[in-house]
Structure 1
């Protein structure tokens, strides 16, 4: 009897045993069968996840833009499919390491700095100004860091995993945007509690804010655009072109000014690096797009973009609430940094200190906890100079390694994937100026793709 046949038999016999038990117990207590009926399915799912952890990991990635469907009924935010499946992936990885099916790959230099940053944050928890708040933050930080670790390791060990990972990023994101557009077409967002009196901002099939949702779409949009460039059948390229248009449209329909600026920066950088591939046709297309873009964008979106001029305005124009809040975050952050410059106030403590009169200059915000809406301000205040140096060093090294393949003299089809990842990375880092993305799964997913692209690239000098 083969091992696979034995495993299959065990699964089927166990499922049959629970089903018979459920049927018999129904004569004793009618409420029992429904509960026990779910046990066989749950057990089978558990065994499948343990047997195929790479597929389970792809499912977790696919659920990032579809996190509304990862929520469990009546469980609230305390339990979701992410939290149920992630320990299974971790357990399966450890089992495969112990059995010799996987090898523990060494950390790269930038990964060592990221690991040191996470370890430093863990060490600082007992010295935090709010230990309980820091514990929750550390749990999430370790989770997203492990997500990065598992993705990069499976991608390096199994070459086919990279292709599946790309599809798991692009296709669910397209579905998420489509669902979000249908949901928002009714004038309300069926997936999220976010509301806006003046416009309906889509967040796809997620429970996240529009800014966070736009961040999710950066990577799939650029990856999809890279697939358009690849040589393939016309219908296939048309499909990826449609996916790219849907994803970019989803970013637009979030009505996020921050996302617009970050996307512009992310698109500009690879174009400048790929100047040798720029033709007059590309220039004409770019100019035409810039000319006609204001006419196809929603009027509300153009008005929101025009409000960016308030940053440099005076009088009443400069009093827009969102801009005042961001200025206040910086003020609070500088006060925190002055008191805790070297080691920081502790992970996840910015919002708690934001409510304290000692750090808050606006009396009407006393007792109001808010996050800084800035990745770098969050790291600086909560992790101090030590944590900031570790974090920024890792990001700088990742960015440099990610740009290296794009700079080489090669056909556009060969560097398209690398350029897409670089554009997503730059857009994400630029978005960090406006959103606290440290604990976002999408942020660490982009870092994972940057690591994969750097690993995948082999320079002519090294072979």
Structure 2
């Protein structure tokens, strides 16, 4: 009763203050905002779903101090901290087998930060990484309430929406390459590769034919968006995940009877040539360049591959110079700008284009944080993949095919993210830390169900 009166009084004072201010139109927003906070307090998982859905639209709010994702994240931190203080969350919510390797990685990171060559850059890198760490904690706390199917729907639809924008509007392209609402085609390809296994699961598990066709259309839209990005790494990652997915569903493929085989071959004979014909000529040329890698990289013919080779040279030298603590988080661009590679591969006039990141998260962590920190970061990724695998195995042992498929497609999305980290610098990517937090919960939940089933037997 006292809390209700206090909140009501605070609400009245805020509304009166806004009415007397130059912005009286904001007074209704306070009521709407408090209603939203009340909803988040009762269902914090909704906030995580909102953050995941807003990731493809982050480019709309670039440079803004107040965005939907920031407000949701800050609100969830306050709400979950309050619920922990009031003991409204059970202690088992904090259980996760990634806490120990994460703590060791942060220790190595802080040691590297202490000996950093540039504290200003390292502190900026720490602020970026803190976003991912906060999302990991949030995911661990709300995973038990998270509707994973809804997560699949929101991520698939939000990425597909940006694909549609990129396909129909040149404003969402750079040099003919689709970027969606982001600034880089490869980052956009990462989102597509991440969402494709989720939309594929929705198409396979849809309860009705119409819903199955709709999700299949979403999946095809994602694939079309991938071809428009001209991303070679995106194609490699997507094909790899497709092959693994087909292997997982091999038992279902065996159910195709001989009388259906003709229709399957006819569909393949139509779809495959049309798909190849629809590929842009520039994309085909970029794909062919991957085949020519066995004869070596010619930087004059392919500046992109030459740049990536130069990142490896600079990163390797940084590791040799500082193998234990690295040069400090966020310092790779400074080292790269001091080499001749920066000027040789510069695409724009001025000095800003000289300071380039490693475009390889693993190389960046190893060179900036040191070998121990790099190994611990890689261990986090491998343990996350292992968690999804164990969740799949436990679900299969329980006879729950749907949960097993769910864990498999989550693992495919996470694998796409892990592979893409070899081509992009994104140690603070929101999806990465959400999936890490989710992996530990799924494993514990699946193994607990299996243990209960065995006890009953």
- The bucket for the TM-score relative to the shorter chain is 0.7 to 0.9
TM-score where L is the length of structure 1: 0.82
Name the CA shift for 1:287/1:378 in 2 (closer, same or farther; >3 Å): farther
The answer to whether residue 112 in structure 2 is matched with residue 124 in structure 1 is: yes
Name the CA shift for 1:356/1:389 in 2 (closer, same or farther; >3 Å): same
1:248 corresponds, among 201, 219, 223, to 223
Q: Which residue of 2 aligns with 1:296?
A: 278
* Structure with greater proportional helix content: 2
Q: Which residue of 1 aligns with 2:77?
A: 90
Looking at structure 1, the residues matched to 47 and 403 of structure 2 have their Cα atoms a distance apart, in angstroms, of 30
Looking at structure 2, the residues matched to 412 and 290 of structure 1 have their Cα atoms a distance apart, in angstroms, of 30
Question: Do 1:219 and 1:446's aligned partners in 2 also have CA atoms closer than 8 Å?
Answer: no
Q: Which residue of 2 aligns with 1:155?
A: 143
Looking at structure 2, the residues matched to 151 and 123 of structure 1 have their Cα atoms a distance apart, in angstroms, of 27
Task: State which drifts further: 53-62 or 212-221.
Answer: 53-62
Displacement, 1:279? 2.1
Looking at structure 1, the residues matched to 403 and 342 of structure 2 have their Cα atoms a distance apart, in angstroms, of 53
Looking at structure 1, the residues matched to 279 and 401 of structure 2 have their Cα atoms a distance apart, in angstroms, of 30
The one-character-per-residue Cα deviations of 1:139-177 (angstroms, maximum 9, x if unpaired) are: 111111211221232122x2x543433333222222222
Looking at structure 1, the residues matched to 15 and 437 of structure 2 have their Cα atoms a distance apart, in angstroms, of 41
2:411 corresponds, among 391, 398, 422, to 422
Q: Which residue of 2 aligns with 1:257?
A: 232
TM-score where L is the length of structure 2: 0.83
Question: Do 2:109 and 2:373's aligned partners in 1 also have CA atoms closer than 8 Å?
Answer: yes
Question: Do 1:351 and 1:371's aligned partners in 2 also have CA atoms closer than 8 Å?
Answer: yes
Task: Provide the secondary structure at the position in 1 that maps to 2:174.
Answer: coil
Name the CA shift for 1:362/1:224 in 2 (closer, same or farther; >3 Å): closer
Looking at structure 2, the residues matched to 232 and 314 of structure 1 have their Cα atoms a distance apart, in angstroms, of 50
For 1:98-113, list aligned pairs within 5 A.
Answer: 98-104=85-91, 105-113=93-101
Task: State which drifts further: 295-304 or 122-131.
Answer: 295-304
The answer to whether residue 319 in structure 2 is matched with residue 328 in structure 1 is: no
The answer to whether residue 367 in structure 2 is matched with residue 377 in structure 1 is: no
Count of residues paired in the alignment: 432
For 1:78-227, list aligned pairs within 5 A.
Answer: 79-104=66-91, 105-156=93-144, 158=145, 161-184=147-170, 188-189=171-172, 195-196=174-175, 200-204=176-180, 206-227=181-202
Question: Do 2:97 and 2:440's aligned partners in 1 also have CA atoms closer than 8 Å?
Answer: no
Name the CA shift for 1:68/1:419 in 2 (closer, same or farther; >3 Å): same
Task: State which drifts further: 227-236 or 326-335.
Answer: 227-236
Looking at structure 2, the residues matched to 92 and 16 of structure 1 have their Cα atoms a distance apart, in angstroms, of 22
The answer to whether residue 41 in structure 2 is matched with residue 66 in structure 1 is: no
Q: Which residue of 2 aligns with 1:28?
A: none
Displacement, 1:379? 1.3
Name the CA shift for 1:297/1:146 in 2 (closer, same or farther; >3 Å): same
Displacement, 1:79? 5.0
Name the CA shift for 1:315/1:429 in 2 (closer, same or farther; >3 Å): closer
The one-character-per-residue Cα deviations of 1:247-283 (angstroms, maximum 9, x if unpaired) are: 2222222221110011111222233344334327499
Looking at structure 2, the residues matched to 314 and 396 of structure 1 have their Cα atoms a distance apart, in angstroms, of 30
5+ unaligned residues in a row in structure 2: which ranges?
none
5+ unaligned residues in a row in structure 1: which ranges?
23-31
Q: CA RMSD in A?
A: 3.1
Looking at structure 2, the residues matched to 452 and 250 of structure 1 have their Cα atoms a distance apart, in angstroms, of 32
Task: State which drifts further: 310-319 or 261-270.
Answer: 310-319
Name the CA shift for 1:3/1:279 in 2 (closer, same or farther; >3 Å): farther
Question: Do 2:105 and 2:373's aligned partners in 1 also have CA atoms closer than 8 Å?
Answer: yes
The one-character-per-residue Cα deviations of 1:164-208 (angstroms, maximum 9, x if unpaired) are: 333332222222222333323xxx32xxxx621xxx22222x233
Looking at structure 2, the residues matched to 455 and 248 of structure 1 have their Cα atoms a distance apart, in angstroms, of 33
Task: Provide the secondary structure at the position in 2 that maps to 1:319.
Answer: coil
2:325 corresponds, among 339, 343, 346, to 343
Question: Do 2:101 and 2:376's aligned partners in 1 also have CA atoms closer than 8 Å?
Answer: yes
Question: Do 2:392 and 2:403's aligned partners in 1 also have CA atoms closer than 8 Å?
Answer: no
